[in-house]
Chains A and B, each alone.
Chain A
Amino acid sequence: MNNEMSVRESAALPKTLKKLVVNYGLYFVFLFIVVYFTVKNPAFLALGNIITIVQMASTLGIVVVGMFFVLITGGIDISVASNMYFSAVVSSTLLNNHGVPIALCFLISMACGTLVGAVNGLFISKYKIVPFITTLATMSIARGLGLFFSNQKLIVLDQSGFEVSNTRIFGVPLVVYIFFAAVLAGHIILSLTQFGRQLYACGNNLAGANKIGINGTRTVFIAYAVCGAMAGLAGMVNACNLSSINQNFATGDEFVVISSAVVGGASLFGGKGRVLPGAIIGIVMIQVILNGLTLSQASPFVYQVIRGIIIFIAVMMDSIKYSGEIR
């Protein structure tokens, strides 16, 4: 009997260790990185720098909120960066050439984003086309439309756009408030509304959801539309921050967004993740690493490598966690 007990215990210990590593491993890495950068350059933990980090994280953080909706359905949206570009081009052109007020431009940008998201949602939920392929197509289409409307020229934003990015309330940039508002709204929708709970259900077992009377098609459609809307909003925010839009606007950002969401606890297998605090932790963590590398004067080419490694670790943890779960 005694013997048997010790066998069980020795089997249990590696299991808890594995669970610990899988669930909290990334936080340990994060902590290590923060300590490392602080030792290398104490300015890293200065309030000013922290605000800079959060500000830089905010733009894509808004998209991460939308990406959570899509990842929870078990899908993926790789069109978000192109969508940001397309939406920003349309609304900035209206701002510059037609004198549309800046606030309205934000709404228009969101509407453009929603449109692209709705196209994704329609084909994915209604016509059952694989999310990756659908959004790969719209990624190309949105980028192409943006290039077409801008005529491949650099768009320099009107003064009012510049003012938006410089606005601070209590010393915190407006962008950060927009990001936090998006996180809060996303959190409330996902965890406190019937739609949100049903979204988790659809991501877990879509066939089952349809069978018990949840409108799976509609639910998944809305998730993509929300993701598009967030991309549109972030597109305009980013345009204001940069005060101009060039052809490479947001290029490659879809991977930052997706990996941030996964780092923040969403699963590529669907049905999982909480926007609060996941979306904040995910994007901030990646921004911290980029910021820390800048402060320690690393070669910019190292960024890409490090970013790739983070994505890899996050996705690997996700897979390890997933295996063994019965759907």
Chain B
Amino acid sequence: MTHQREYALELKNITKSFATVRVLTDVSLSLRRGTILGLVGENGAGKSTMMNILGGVLKRDAGEILLDGSPFEPKGPKGAKAAGIAFVHQELNLFSNLSVAENLYITGLPKLGKTGLVNLVRTKRDAKGKLAELGIDNIPPDALIGDLPMGQRQLIEIAKAMISDAEIIIMDEPTTSLSTKEKTNLFRIMHEQIEKGKSIIFISHILEDVFAHSDEIAVLRDGKLIAQKPAAELTRAEVVKMMVGRELSKIYPTVEKSIGEVLFQARDICREGRFKNINLTLRQGEIVGLFGLMGAGRTELLKCLFGVDPVSGGEVLIDGKALERLTPQGCIESGMAFITENRREEGLLITKTVRENTVMASLDELGKRMFGVLDFKKEQAMSDEMVEALKVRTYDANRQVVVSLSGGNQQKVVLSKWVVKKPRVFLLDEPTRGVDVGAKYEIYSIIGDLTRENSAVLMVSSEMEELMGMCDRILVMYNNAITAEFHKGAFDQEKIIVAAIGGQNHEQ
């Protein structure tokens, strides 16, 4: 580099509309060479659109992009690469049928001389070297991607971006499926790149990470740049305020409610090789949190309680009456609802409309009146009611497909699918994962409203703060057993975490 400018990348007054909807208005960002720029904003704030414009996937309506001071016209993934910009996309673009090494070099495999044939040996050797250089040499280069756990796959995706020796690396939510250790690894890699003079744009929902690792922070809201400032001059509260545009003094809604009789009981639930005699009760109007580290068995327990996974012993009682068959069908009929953590795969028909998704679990009821022919008036009423009650942000519930909604709104649609059936026991698995701050608040309100109508909620979450704010009681799981219980008023972060990692609390 002969003329090193201060800014590696500048975006000036970028504007973009989809049809009549303005998604970006006059956004200007600048990435200082050799620094990390944290980019935060709610889902739908325009972060992804911004990056797609930079990557040449979308065309901007107006504005200017300067790369190292000279104008840059992005033309597709290849063009970006040639210009020295690498992307780590939110979703993994890996091929599960190819090896790690092949995935790393798939767009430019090393050749055997001039034959045009791939040099397999060199591919593997290069990959091994590169992985070692990045400090992730515990992954063998000839392992099939399909055999690797998600966290390692994400590291490979990140390694792929490093291979092209790009000057600018753009990371869109790179930490979503990483364990704490892998995350530490990623941040180490990021800082090493910075020391080599590379520049990084780091998009993340996790403000702690953004603050810990960014030099500057830019906040987008509703397609506008709210601020770009050095991280040291900002506080978390300020950033949150800028993101949502309102003061979040009380992040958790308070609901007037009373806790009543025992509604749901699980007795001596066993599953071979997994659970042994697990007991838990939920009372009317109660929100119970289930905390635990990855692999503690939280999701698996919910699956057993809902009959998704067969149990080898024990029973589930509602209003003191045991369910005859512990199957999902039986549970639904008895007034239970289970909202899974994989809303895209298990909870939604993502290419169908909001309305179709809302009534999906109620088709039986809609068909009752006319020998199975659906009652469309009632369907419409149901869908309208839910969209309003749960504040689903859609331009037309009859036309907008769920895939085009933001994560928070997708989750609301999943919730409404069940809420419309008025169940009394809700099992929620990570209801706010991947949801932005504002929508989180709305989901908390919805959960609070559920209990006001005497329902009971059992909620799994990895965010302790959220459980402490929402729950009347927190149960902690460790190694497939419930090891501790905390009541509202006696919540203590430290004690909860100690229980979750298998330690003993003396008072318990």
Contact = CB atoms under 8 A, between A and B. Distances in A.
Interface of A: 4, 7-8, 11, 188, 192-194, 197-198, 200-201, 203-205, 207-214, 271-272, 325-327
B242 interface: no
Contact of B106 (A8, A188, A197, A207): A197
B98 interface: yes
B98 A192 contact: no
Contact of B97 (A210, A214, A272): A272
Contact of A200 (B97, B116, B272, B273): B97
Contact of B98 (A193, A197, A207, A211): A197
The B interface, classified by DSSP as helix, strand, loop or mixed, is: loop
Contacts of A209: 93, 95
A7 B92 CA distance: 35
Given A188-B117, A197-B118, A211 B273 contact: no
B264 to A, nearest CB: 28
Contacts of B146: 325-326
B473 interface: no
A205 B106 contact: no
B360 interface: no
Given A188-B117, A192-B120, A325 B107 contact: no
Nearest to A188: B117
Nearest to B112: A192
Nearest to A325: B146
Nearest to B110: A194
Given A204-B98, A208-B95, A325-B96, 18 more contacts: A4-B273, A7-B272, A192-B117, A194-B109, A198-B106, A204-B97, A205-B93, A208-B91, A210-B77, A211-B89, A212-B77, A213-B77, A213-B78, A214-B107, A271-B96, A271-B97, A326-B96, A327-B96
B106 A208 contact: no
A193 B97 contact: no
Given A213-B77, A213-B81, A214-B107, A203 B97 contact: yes
Nearest to B146: A325
B102 interface: yes
A167 B76 CA distance: 53
A192 B106 contact: no
Contacts of B97: 200, 203-204, 271-272
Contacts of A214: 106-107
Contact of A193 (B89, B91, B116): B116
B458 to A, nearest CB: 26
13 contacts: A8-B273, A194-B109, A197-B98, A198-B107, A204-B96, A204-B98, A205-B94, A207-B93, A208-B92, A213-B77, A213-B107, A326-B96, A326-B146
A317 B49 CA distance: 42
- Interface size classification for chain B: 20 to 34
Q: Which of A4, A8, A194, A325 has the most CB atoms of chain B within a 10 A radius of its CB? A: A194
Contacts of B160: 212
Interface string B68-94: 000000001110010000000101111
Contacts of B111: 194
Nearest to B92: A208
B477 to A, nearest CB: 17
A192 to B, nearest CB: 5
A4 B78 CA distance: 52
A193 B117 contact: yes
> Ordered nearest first, which 5 A-B pairs have the shortest CB separation?
A208-B93, A213-B77, A7-B273, A204-B95, A271-B97
Nearest to B108: A194
A193 B111 CA distance: 8
A196 to B, nearest CB: 8
A197 B109 contact: yes
Given A192-B118, A208-B93, A212-B77, A200 B98 contact: yes
Contacts of B272: 7, 11
Contacts of B118: 192-194, 197
B309 to A, nearest CB: 13
Interface string B331-370: 0000000000000000000000000000000000000000
Interface hub of A11, A193, A201 (most chain B Cβ within 10 A): A201
A213 B75 CA distance: 11
A190 to B, nearest CB: 11
A7 B77 CA distance: 50
Nearest to A197: B102
Nearest to A271: B97
Contacts of A210: 77
A212 B273 contact: no
B106 A201 contact: yes
Contact of A205 (B78, B95, B273): B95
A27 B475 CA distance: 52
A238 B242 CA distance: 73
Contacts of A204: 95-98
Contact of A212 (B93, B102, B109, B116): B93
A200 B99 CA distance: 11
A197 B116 CA distance: 13
Contacts of A197: 98, 102, 106, 109, 118
A205 B145 CA distance: 13
Nearest to A202: B95
Contacts of B91: 208
A271 B97 CA distance: 6
A212 B57 CA distance: 11
B110 to A, nearest CB: 10
Contacts of B78: 213
A213 B57 CA distance: 11
B107 A212 contact: yes
Contacts of B116: 193-194
Which among B92, B93, B96 has the highest number of chain A CB atoms within 10 Å? B93
B93 A211 contact: yes
Contacts of A192: 117-118, 120
Contacts of B95: 200-201, 204-205, 208-209, 271
Nearest to A205: B95
Given A201-B98, A203-B97, A326-B146, A211 B106 contact: no
Nearest to B117: A192
A205 B94 CA distance: 8
Interface in B117-163: 117-118, 120, 146, 160
Give the most central of A4, A192, A197, A208: most B CB within 10 Å. A197
A45 B129 CA distance: 51
